[in-house]
């Protein structure tokens, strides 16, 4: 069943991307076209096939020792804040969070 | 030196040797490269930022080391450019997105640092498809890049700026990143060598993430030897503790570069050679590569990759999901575009993302958000990861019969700007490269001269088993020996860039 404009609107809310009405129309057409492209995935009988989440299956992630290290690179606070739109003292500054409680999905 | 030579006629090794022996200084080469960018980039627009101060500072440091009698690195004085998803302190890292238009690199990516540590001179940051979503560099929020072989055409993408900068002779080497073909396809369209190493061979620390199980950094050059030199610098120092997926890759890529390929085997997949959408001139280029290897004593064997036709579908499940997850960090708070005047955080986030991201970045994230949603995940994401297992197993079986697989890199030569307006049509540009990212293996695009029909660069692709990237370059070099290497696009060769 194709995705409706309403479905795509819900996905946009979830993805936190405010789409205009015109964008919503285009996106709905795109989403249906893109999902159709994925159809081969659904044609497989995959009973008993293990998934691969990591491309080099027989290697594992390399973990660091969980110990403090003086050499650890860290971002100084001023550098970490330097790309923020708004900041105050040693913090990122954001608008009201509680204000969204009623309208949040 | 006798007559004035443009630095674009020199290989990376020749520049490093010339700087080490005092034929010219690194500063002279840096000035030549900056001069070439000045006179050529107006038409190519490969760069988003040119960094004369960083270039001259790095070059002066190289010259000072020589004056102090220190041994110079293998890339001493070699002009290099970096895709603009790679952090370099002193530059912005924009990912060609409005979202990051003002983002100042807080640290330097390991891959960039390793090239600089080897002596390379950073000339600038190159254009790309926004957040690497694309195959033409047209989705850059700032401007398109024009193919140096025909400036009415695209350079490919997403690392189109890095490929074009090398093809136009503005730099000697560059770095790109390849999630589904974003190094090999633009290398093909621009007639240069482009290598995607095995996943994990090169650190991704400091490179803005797109698809974390697929992304890999690799070099562009006008010769296989230049790419091998760059690979040596990228793997020098071993595993990067700052990228947990990085692996030790203790290989000298130059060591076996000139080895004969006699007695070794090259796999060819018949159904790929007959694939719908593959242009005759690209097919001919691959057949020429096969013949040249055969004439050097390699054996051509037929191999099968039965599930490869599903690779694009698997990729367009996995990559958008990973992209949606990675790009969730762009919330307009810690960095990136922040919509002013929003009363709530939710509104600020949605509007910052709506106005910071371009169309394709929104499309990919929307697709990822949908595919990861409850009830849909089970239908697409999990099965796609199972299909990934099948594709990886196909490759493993094929490599029991051959050392490398030869196939096209791009279905066609460079297309005109605006020609491919349908996003899903554009996705087919990566039909020959994507399966290798799915499997995590290495691949390299080798220039094969100009196509008979279009007069534009054509190519062949070599793919190999995981961590056998050196072998790929040996075969690539064998093809290069037979058919001749890449050159600077004629319209730009020698324009500016003279070494005094």
pLDDT tens per residue, range A20-52: 999 999 999 999 999 999 999 999 999 999 998
Q: Any bridge partners for residue B174, and if so which?
A: B81, B220
Contact indicator for A14, B369 with CB cutoff of 8 Å? yes
Q: What is the pLDDT of residues B30-70, one digit of tens each?
A: 999 999 999 999 999 999 999 999 999 999 999 999 999 99
Task: Identify the pLDDT of residue B500.
Answer: 73
Task: Pick the catalytic residue from B136, B158, B177, B292.
Answer: B158
Q: Which helix (H) or strand (E) holds B216?
A: strand B216-221
Q: How far is B346 from chain A (nearest CA, A)?
A: 6
Total beta-carbon pairs less than 8 A apart between chain A and chain B: 188
What is the rounded (10 degree) CA torsion for B101, B105, B111, B117?
A: 130
Q: State which residues form the domain around A31.
A: 5-42
Task: Pick the catalytic residue from B140, B182, B445, B471.
Answer: B182
Residue B165's CB: how many other CB atoms inside 10 A? 39
Contact indicator for B91, B54 with CB cutoff of 8 Å? yes
- Round to whole Å and give the CA distance between B145 and B152: 10
Question: Who's near B211: CB < 8 A, 6+ residues apart?
Answer: B179, B180, B318, B319, B322, B323, B326, B437
B209 sits in the region (left: phi over 0; alpha: psi -120 to 50; else beta) called: beta
Domain residue spans of chain B: 5-310+385-499, 311-384
Q: Which two tokens stand for residue A51?
A: 């998934």
Which whole number is the average pLDDT over A57-62? 62
Q: What percent of chain A has pLDDT over 90?
A: 66
Q: Residue A62 — pLDDT band, cuts 50, 70, 90?
A: low
- Round to whole Å and give the CA distance between B133 and B158: 6
Q: Is A60 on the interface with B (CB under 8 A)?
A: no
Contact A38 B380 (CB under 8 A): yes
Taking contacts as CB-CB distances below 8 angstroms, the residues of chain B near A47 are none
Residue A103: which of B104, B338, B346 has the nearest Cβ? Answer: B346
Contact indicator for B367, B384 with CB cutoff of 8 Å? no
User: Measuring CA to CA, how many Å separate B402 from each of B274, B434, B437, B463?
Assistant: 20, 20, 19, 11
Q: Which helix (H) or strand (E) holds B472?
A: helix B469-483
Task: Identify the pLDDT of residue A101.
Answer: 46
Task: Identify the pLDDT of residue A70.
Answer: 61
- Round to whole Å and give the CA distance between B203 and B111: 6
Q: At what angle do helices B311-327 and B381-398 cross, to 10 degrees?
A: 130
Closest CA to B223 of B368, B367, B450, B11: B11
ipTM surpasses cut 0.85: yes
- Round to whole Å and give the CA distance between B173 and B226: 7
Is B1 a residue whose pLDDT tops 50?
no
Q: What is the pLDDT of residues B440-464, one digit of tens each?
A: 999 999 999 999 999 999 999 999 9
Taking contacts as CB-CB distances below 8 angstroms, the residues of chain B near A92 are 333-334
Q: How far is B440 from chain A (nearest CA, A)?
A: 5
Q: Which two tokens stand for residue B326?
A: 């990675």
Q: Residue B487 — pLDDT band, cuts 50, 70, 90?
A: very high
Taking contacts as CB-CB distances below 8 angstroms, the residues of chain A near B213 are 53-55
- Give the CA diameter of chain A: 57
Task: Look up B159 and say whether it is catalytic.
Answer: no
Structural domain includes residue A80: no
Is B3 a residue whose pLDDT tops 60?
no
Q: Which of residues 215-254 of B touch A (CB under 8 A)?
A: 239, 241-242, 244-247
Contact B388 A52 (CB under 8 A): yes
Q: Where are the alpha helices (DSSP H) in B328-458?
A: 345-356, 359-371, 381-398, 423-426, 434-439
Place of tokens 């100042």: B104
Q: Find the radius of gyration of the CA atoms of chain B.
A: 21
Task: Look up B83 and say whether it is catalytic.
Answer: yes
Q: What percent of chain B has pLDDT over 70?
A: 99
Q: Residue A60 — pLDDT band, cuts 50, 70, 90?
A: low
Least confident interval from A69-78, B134-143, B235-244: A69-78
Task: Identify the pLDDT of residue A104.
Answer: 37
Q: Which of residues 30-59 of A touch B (CB under 8 A)?
A: 30-31, 33-35, 37-42, 44, 46, 49-57, 59
Average pLDDT score over chain B? 97
Contact indicator for B154, B414 with CB cutoff of 8 Å? yes
For an interface test with A, the pick among B200, B201, B315, B344 (most A C-beta atoms closer than 10 Å) comes out as B344
Name the more confident of B400 and A59.
Answer: B400
Q: Which helix (H) or strand (E) holds B471?
A: helix B469-483
Task: Identify the pLDDT of residue B258.
Answer: 98
Which whole number is the average pLDDT over B403-430? 95
Task: Identify the pLDDT of residue A75.
Answer: 84
- With b for 16 or more beta-carbon neighbours within 10 A and e for fewer, the B54-70 pattern comes to bbbbbbeebbebbeeee
Q: What is the pLDDT of residues B254-275, one digit of tens each?
A: 999 999 999 999 999 999 999 9
Residue A56: which of B199, B332, B362 has the nearest Cβ? Answer: B199
Q: Which two tokens stand for residue B51?
A: 């960094």
How many domains, in total, are found in chain A?
A: 1
Q: Is B208 on the interface with A (CB under 8 A)?
A: no
Is B197 a residue whose pLDDT tops 90?
yes
Task: Pick the catalytic residue from B83, B97, B159, B292.
Answer: B83
Contact indicator for B414, B156 with CB cutoff of 8 Å? yes
Structural domain includes residue A16: yes
Q: Which two tokens stand for residue B340?
A: 């002013």
Q: Residue B400 — pLDDT band, cuts 50, 70, 90?
A: very high
Average pLDDT score over chain A? 86
Taking contacts as CB-CB distances below 8 angstroms, the residues of chain B near A15 are 324, 353, 365-366, 369
Task: Identify the pLDDT of residue B101.
Answer: 98
Positive or negative: CA dihedral B305, B306, B308, B309: positive
Task: Identify the pLDDT of residue A105.
Answer: 36
- Round to whole Å and give the CA distance between B1 and B3: 6
Task: Identify the pLDDT of residue A56.
Answer: 66
Task: Identify the pLDDT of residue A54.
Answer: 75
Can you give the pTM of this predicted structure? Answer: 0.96
Q: Which of residues 76-95 of A touch B (CB under 8 A)?
A: 79-80, 82-86, 92, 94-95
User: Measuring CA to CA, how many Å separate B154 from each of A17, A25, B3, B137?
Assistant: 29, 28, 35, 7
Q: Is B348 on the interface with A (CB under 8 A)?
A: yes
Closest CA to B73 of B229, B202, B182: B229
Task: Identify the pLDDT of residue A102.
Answer: 43
B63 φ, ψ (degrees, to nearest 5): -65, -35
Name the more confident of B394 and A72.
Answer: B394
Task: Identify the pLDDT of residue A22.
Answer: 95
- Round to whole Å and give the CA distance between B444 and B261: 16
- Round to whole Å and give the CA distance between B185 and B163: 9
CATH of domain B5-310+385-499: 3.90.1300.10
Residue B116's CB: how many other CB atoms inside 10 A? 22
Q: Residue A92 — pLDDT band, cuts 50, 70, 90?
A: very high
Which whole number is the average pLDDT over B413-418? 98
Which whole number is the average pLDDT over B128-136? 98
Q: At what angle do helices B26-44 and B160-167 cross, to 10 degrees?
A: 110
DSSP structure string for B150-206: BTTB---SSSHHHHHHHHTTS-SEEEEEESSSTTHHHHHHHTSEEEEPPTTSS--TT
Task: Identify the pLDDT of residue A65.
Answer: 75
């Amino acid at each position: 069943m194709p995705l409706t404009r309403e479905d795509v609107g819900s996905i946009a809310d979830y993805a936190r991307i405010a789409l205009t009405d015109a964008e919503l129309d285009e996106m709905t057409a795109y989403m249906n076209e893109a999902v159709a492209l994925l159809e081969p995935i659904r044609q497989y009988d995959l009973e008993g096939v293990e998934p691969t989440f990591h491309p080099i299956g027989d290697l594992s992630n390399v973990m660091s020792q969980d110990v403090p290290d003086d050499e650890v690179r860290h971002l100084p606070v001023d550098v970490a804040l330097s790309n923020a739109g708004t900041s105050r003292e040693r913090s990122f500054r954001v608008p009201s969070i509680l204000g969204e409680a009623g309208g949040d999905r | 030196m006798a007559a004035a030579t443009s630095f674009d006629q020199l290989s990376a090794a020749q520049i490093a040797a010339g700087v080490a022996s005092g034929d010219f200084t690194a500063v002279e080469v840096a000035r030549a490269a900056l001069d070439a960018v000045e006179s050529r980039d107006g038409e190519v627009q490969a760069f988003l930022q040119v960094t004369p101060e960083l270039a001259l500072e790095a070059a002066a440091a190289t010259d000072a080391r020589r004056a102090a009698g220190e041994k110079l690195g293998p890339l001493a004085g070699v002009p290099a450019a970096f895709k603009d998803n790679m952090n370099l302190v002193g530059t912005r890292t924009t990912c060609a997105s409005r979202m990051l238009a003002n983002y100042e690199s807080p640290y330097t990516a390991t891959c960039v640092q390793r090239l600089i540590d080897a002596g390379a001179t950073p000339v600038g940051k190159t254009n790309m498809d926004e957040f690497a979503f694309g195959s033409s560099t047209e989705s850059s929020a700032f401007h398109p890049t024009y193919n140096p072989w025909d400036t009415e055409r695209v350079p490919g993408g997403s690392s189109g700026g890095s490929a074009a900068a090398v093809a136009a002779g503005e730099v000697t080497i560059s770095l790109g990143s390849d999630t589904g073909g974003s190094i090999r396809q633009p290398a093909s369209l621009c007639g240069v060598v482009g290598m995607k190493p095995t996943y994990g061979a090169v650190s991704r620390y400091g490179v803005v993430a797109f698809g974390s199980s697929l992304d890999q950094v690799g070099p562009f050059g006008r010769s296989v030897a230049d790419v091998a030199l760059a690979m040596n610098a990228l793997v020098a120092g071993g595993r990067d503790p700052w990228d947990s997926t990085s692996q030790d890759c203790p290989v000298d890529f130059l060591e076996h570069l000139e080895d004969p390929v006699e007695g070794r085997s090259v796999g060819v997949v018949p159904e790929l050679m007959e694939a719908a959408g593959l242009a005759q001139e690209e097919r001919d280029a691959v057949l020429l590569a096969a013949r040249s290897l055969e004439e050097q004593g390699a054996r051509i064997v037929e191999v099968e990759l039965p599930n490869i036709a599903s690779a694009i579908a698997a990729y367009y499940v996995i990559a958008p999901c990973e992209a949606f997850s990675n790009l969730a960090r762009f919330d307009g708070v810690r960095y990136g575009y922040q919509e002013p005047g929003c009363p709530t955080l939710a509104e600020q986030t949605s509007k910052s993302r709506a106005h910071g991201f371009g169309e394709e970045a929104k499309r990919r994230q929307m697709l990822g958000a949908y595919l990861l949603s409850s009830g849909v995940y089970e239908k697409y994401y999990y099965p796609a990861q199972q299909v990934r297992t099948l594709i990886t197993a196909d490759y493993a079986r094929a490599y029991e019969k051959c050392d490398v697989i030869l196939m096209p890199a791009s279905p066609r030569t460079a297309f005109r700007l605006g020609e491919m307006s349908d996003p899903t049509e554009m996705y087919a540009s990566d039909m020959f490269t994507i399966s290798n990212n799915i499997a995590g293996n290495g691949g390299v695009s080798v220039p094969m001269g100009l196509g008979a029909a279009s007069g534009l660069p054509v190519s062949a692709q070599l793919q190999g088993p995981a961590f056998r990237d050196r072998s790929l370059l040996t075969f690539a070099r064998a093809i290069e020996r037979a058919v001749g290497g890449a050159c600077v696009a004629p319209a730009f060769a020698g324009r500016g860039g003279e070494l005094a």
